[in-house]
Amino acid sequence: MTDFAHWSEAVRAAAAAGRSLRIRGGGTKDFYGVALEGDVFDTAGYRGVIDYDPSELLLSVRAGTPLAEVERTLAEGGQMLAFEPPRFGEASTIGGVIASGFSGPRRVAAGSARDFVLGVRVIDAQGRDLSFGGRVMKNVAGYDLSRLMAASFGTLALVTEISLKVLPRPETEATLVFDLPEADALDRINRWAAQPLPLSASCHRDGRLWVRLSGAGAAVDAARAKMGGTELPAHEAQPRWDALRDQRDPFFAADTPLWRLSVKSTSAPLGLGPQLVEWHGALRWIAADLPADRVHAAAEAAGGYATLYRGGDRSAGIQRLTPPVLSLHKRLKQSLDPQGVFGRHRIHPDF
């Protein structure tokens, strides 16, 4: 077992001094959040795969391990991180991937970053070295604190090691393109998703719908025949999905604030501004300078919530929580990190 005594000491010292630690892997997601406060606590030095066994579908890894190294390791075993986290640069670490909880195009079919977390080792706000979850597929002993770490942005604990479920890469993929206005595209993709078709991703922008199929060759062939559309050659399709996943699609280059709306997939077009739709309609990116209240209200009316993902004035908050849920967040934060050592104000102005 690695000795985290020096990290524990650093956490305790920060708590004693009333300082906050800003846990940071590669720093590729510094654009996100309400505020970046506190002393940078760099985890990038603690890297390396602890255990990888393709037949266990298990990867245990140190938090500072570069995402690129994780992906290379898995590719050698014919496997992948099925939630397709965005890659914002070589510095990106697996710790940051899990802390952000960001998930890419395949999330709609395979599940999110949190869905693949099996266990974590953390240093808590008292500097204690703790483990939750495990390295097995099924484990219901104790509260699921390991999955709670996903999307917590370093606000609850310092994650040092992570165990993840990994999946085989699909045997075959194909991409179909359809020229359809947004409302028709939303209807079409949701109706397909309700049928046993091997859909693994979709994207709609500027009157065009891209659909990716993944799976056994026979299943992809059958779906292709059934769905129609125009097939995009593989050498064009892969770069397109990569660009979408890594947010290098020209849509994401806009100089305006970027809103991320997580909504019910069948919600009618929101009409808020220039938009890119993923996850069969459940994820809608909007690049426009809009009054925050208007965007939050639109997302809530569509069964979900909005996040001011990048740019704009984030000082008043990037998401809107209902009063009871906000109060529960504060109690949980207060319980686990009473001194506010971890990630102060990263995800909410109140804690």
Partner 1 sequence: MGKPEVLPDPTYQVDRAALIRELAAVLPPTSLLYSTEDTKPYECDGLSAFRKVPLAVVLPENEAQVQAVMRVCHRLKVPVVARGAGTGLSGGALPHEQGVTLGLSKMKSILHIDPVARTAKVQPGVRNLAISEATAPHGLYYAPDPSSQIACSIGGNIAENSGGVHCLKYGLTVHNVLKVRFVTIEGEVMEIGSEGLDSAGLDLLALVIGSEGLLGVVTEVTVKLLPKPQLARVVLAAFDSLEKAGQAVANIIGAGIIPAGLEMMDKLATQAVEQFVHAGYPLDAEAILLCESDGTPEEVAAEIERMEAVMRASGATQIRLSKDEAERLRFWSGRKAAFPAVGRIMPDYYCMDGTIPKRKLAEVLEGIDRLSKEFGLRCPNVFHAGDGNLHPLIMFDANEPGQAERAAEFGSRILTLCIEAGGTITGEHGVGVEKINEMCVQFRPDELDTFRTVKRAFDEHGLLNPGKAVPTLHRCAEFGRMHVHRGEERFPELPRF
> Binders of partner 1 among 312-351, rule CB under 8 A?
319-322, 324-326, 328-329, 331-332, 334-336, 347-348
Q: Which stretch binds partner 1 (CB under 8 A): 21-29, 61-69, 87-95, 189-197?
A: 189-197
- The Cα–Cα gap between 61 and 55 comes to 16
Q: Which stretch binds partner 1 (CB under 8 A): 6-14, 89-97, 128-136, 236-244?
A: 128-136
Residues 6+ apart with CB under 8 A from 140: none
Q: Which is nearer to partner 1, 248 or 329 (CB)?
A: 329
Binding to partner 1 by residue 167, rule CB under 8 A?
yes
Q: Which is nearer to partner 1, 67 or 189 (CB)?
A: 189
Q: Which is nearer to partner 1, 91 or 332 (CB)?
A: 332
Of 206, 197, 194, the closest CA to residue 276 belongs to: 206
- The Cα–Cα gap between 258 and 322 comes to 22
3-class SS shares of the chain: helix, strand, coil, % to 5 = 30, 25, 40
Interstrand relation of 58-62 and 79-80 (parallel, antiparallel or unpaired): unpaired
CB of 236 to partner 1, least distance (A): 26
Q: Which is nearer to partner 1, 191 or 294 (CB)?
A: 191
What residues numbered 255-274 form the site for partner 1, per CB under 8 A?
261-266
Q: Which stretch binds partner 1 (CB under 8 A): 27-35, 36-44, 174-182, 214-222?
A: 214-222
CB of 162 to partner 1, least distance (A): 15
Binding to partner 1 by residue 2, rule CB under 8 A?
no
Binding to partner 1 by residue 56, rule CB under 8 A?
yes
CB of 239 to partner 1, least distance (A): 24
Binding to partner 1 by residue 100, rule CB under 8 A?
no
Pair of tokens at residue 17: 């001094």
Q: Which is nearer to partner 1, 66 or 314 (CB)?
A: 314
CB of 181 to partner 1, least distance (A): 18
Q: Which is nearer to partner 1, 44 or 261 (CB)?
A: 261
Q: Which is nearer to partner 1, 58 or 232 (CB)?
A: 58
Q: Which is nearer to partner 1, 44 or 159 (CB)?
A: 159
Task: Please state, as a whole number, how many other Cβ atoms lie within 10 Å of the Cβ of residue 21.
Answer: 23
Binding to partner 1 by residue 197, rule CB under 8 A?
yes
Helix runs in the chain, H state only: 5-17, 67-76, 94-100, 107-110, 145-149, 182-193, 217-227, 234-245, 292-301, 323-336
Q: Could you tell me the CA-to-CA distances from 344 to 11, 39, 156, 235, 339 in Å, in that order?
A: 14, 10, 10, 44, 10
- The Cα–Cα gap between 301 and 86 comes to 28
C-alpha 335 chain-centroid distance: 25
Of 221, 31, 166, 192, the closest CA to residue 108 belongs to: 192
Q: Which stretch binds partner 1 (CB under 8 A): 20-28, 35-43, 47-55, 246-254?
A: 47-55
Binding to partner 1 by residue 54, rule CB under 8 A?
yes
